Amino acid sequence: MEVIFYTRNRCPLCVDAKLILQHLQKDYQFQIIERDIDTSDEWTEKFGIMIPVIEIEGEIIQYGMIDTLTIEERLNHL
């Protein structure tokens, strides 16, 4: 399974979110696909002020302040 992680440079919330995802990888099997929104006009327009953004199976699960519980609940329902 893949978890899409929309991020950008100089984003403290993104650093925290990535640590949460890496921690969850210890209990759940998924690959983190990191996408820098600054490399795509489409992503910048779509997610500009929302980052970080976590997407699982085409669904945006959470953005901004990411918490472990919300992501873990979604992973449990796959």
pLDDT in tens, the chain (78 residues): 999 999 999 999 999 999 999 999 999 999 999 999 999 999 999 999 999 999 999 999 999 999 999 999 999 987
- Return the pLDDT at 78: 78
Contact 51, 8 (CB under 8 A): yes
Domain hosting residue 17, numbered range:
2-76
Give the predicted TM-score (pTM) of the model: 0.92
CATH number of residue 55's parent domain: 3.40.30.10
Structural domain count, the chain: 1
Alpha carbons 54 and 28: distance in angstroms, whole number: 15
| DSSP3 helix / strand / coil % (the chain, rounded to 5) | 40, 25, 30
